Amino acid sequence: MLLRAAFNFPARLAVLATASLVAMPVARSHAAEPSLAENITCEIQRIFEQNRKAVVRVQANDAMGVRLGSGFFIDPTGLIYTHAGVVLNAGNVTVTFNGTSLPARVLAADERSGIALLQADCISPFIRIGDSRNTAIATPVLAIGFPEDRESSASLGMIAGQDRQHMGQYFSTTHIRANMPVSRGEGGAPVLNLNGEAIGIVVARINEGGSCHILPIRAAEKIRNDIARFGVLRHGWVGVEVEDSPEPVNGTTAMITALNPAANAAGQGLQPGDMVNAIGTTPVASSEDVIDASYFLTAGEPADIQITRNGQSLSIQVTPKIHPLTPAPALHAEAPVQP
């Protein structure tokens, strides 16, 4: 009786109200909080929607017919990165975006890197440039391109590794390999990280397109900087052959074996037998490391080469020549672009 009296109707009402006040926010927080899958989906869709308008279809004509590829704006003045294969030795270049087609000038078409730089006279949306050095394996990436004759579409993938060669052929610089499906027509498509920044450009498919090779955006920016500063490409060349020595010396096995007289490397102080420790600011530990380090040399711009000679560390300043494989200036190249 006493208990029943103590737990009378007002007391029961108070308990019920307190319990519901405690339970409601908990239930509400559970209901409002999206799952991880929903978060990822929303984020990817947001990146795609934000950047798809800055992706263009690039078209050019050659004697064989029409070439179609993808590209993207990298600044608001209509500067475009695309695949060199779309515009190399072709004419009548046009870009289509936002439903309109515009003529574009070829500022540079570089076979060495595999990309081209175009200029369209328009105010354009653009994709921000990211840092392609922060691309660890298993990083998710998103490509936006124009597969064949379809509208712009997105491919989601993951960085699978960094390659210096493919089927025995060395690249001009280390390429990113991504497990990401790509189709014909997506050459030149931007590859974005999940911050919506461009970290690379699709330059080749692997096998049937289940994965692809990506030129790091840092390597593409070398082309853009050359055009901005000089109006032409200025790939540097020192004229040095290296091989791996049997034993490492001072942390490197990269040994100079030959000097090309056309580049006058000998005249600048280098000798066969020198062990290369660094080219510019890029350290060298093996002969393969010189590929990446030398890609960023600029002709006519002095660079320090750290070497070990007879057990002694030396720094030799060389002025690279124009790389023999640098393409001739593009016919339509005009004033330097803004970096």
Partner 1 sequence: MDNEDSITKLLRLKRYEQPSEEYFQSFLAEFQTRQRSEVIHRPLLQIAWDRFSSMFAMPPVPKLVMASSFAAAVFAAVFVLNWADDGTSNATFATASGTAKWDSKARSAQGQKSPAVQYVLPARPVSYASARSF
- 185 lines the binding site for partner 1 (CB under 8 A): yes
Among 11, 46, 184, 271, binds partner 1 (CB under 8 A): 184
**Is 191 or 290 the residue whose CB approaches partner 1 more closely?**
290
Among 182, 192, 217, 278, binds partner 1 (CB under 8 A): 182
Binding residue for partner 1, selected from 127, 192, 220, 290, defined by CB under 8 A: 290
Q: Does 252 bind partner 1 (CB under 8 A)?
A: no
Task: Confirm or reject binding of residue 61 to partner 1 (CB under 8 A).
Answer: yes
Per-residue binding letters, 299-338, with partner 1 (x by CB under 8 A): --------------------------x-------------
CB of 205 to partner 1, least distance (A): 5
Minimum distance from residue 121 beta carbon to partner 1 (Å):
23
CB 113 within 8 A of CB 220: yes
Handedness of CA 306, 309, 313, 315 (dihedral sign): negative
- φ, ψ at 50 (rounded to 5°): -70, -30
CB–CB of 69/185 below 8 Å? yes
- Assigned token pair, 61: 């004509």
Task: Tell me the C-alpha to C-alpha distance, in Å, between residue 67 and each of 55, 59, 89, 281.
Answer: 17, 6, 11, 39
Residue 288 as a binder of partner 1 (CB under 8 A): the answer is: yes
Which residues, 6+ apart, have CB-to-CB distance to 139 below 8 Å? Answer: 158, 159, 193
Question: With respect to partner 1, which residue has the nearer C-beta, 248 or 336?
Answer: 248
Decide: is 171 part of the binding site for partner 1 (CB under 8 A).
yes
Q: Considering the rule CB under 8 A, would residue 213 count as an interface residue with partner 1?
A: yes
Spell out, one character per residue from 105 to 124, where the chain touches partner 1: x when CB under 8 A holds, - when not.
------xxxx----------
Residue 188 · residue 201 · CB < 8 Å: yes
What helix, strand, coil percent values describe the chain, rounded to 5?
Answer: 25, 40, 35
Pattern 27-56, binding to partner 1, x per CB under 8 A?
A: ------------------------------
Which residue, 196 or 248, is less far from partner 1 as judged by CB? 248
Q: Is 310 exposed, middle or buried (0-12, 13-18, 19+ CB in 10 A)?
A: exposed
Pick from 263, 226, 267: nearest CA to 241: 263
**Rounded Cα gap, residues 54 and 74, in angstroms:** 8
Which residues contact partner 1 by CB under 8 A?
Answer: 61, 64-69, 83-86, 111-114, 147-149, 165-167, 169-173, 175, 182-188, 202-206, 209, 212-213, 215, 237-238, 240-243, 254, 279, 287-288, 290-291, 293-295, 297, 325
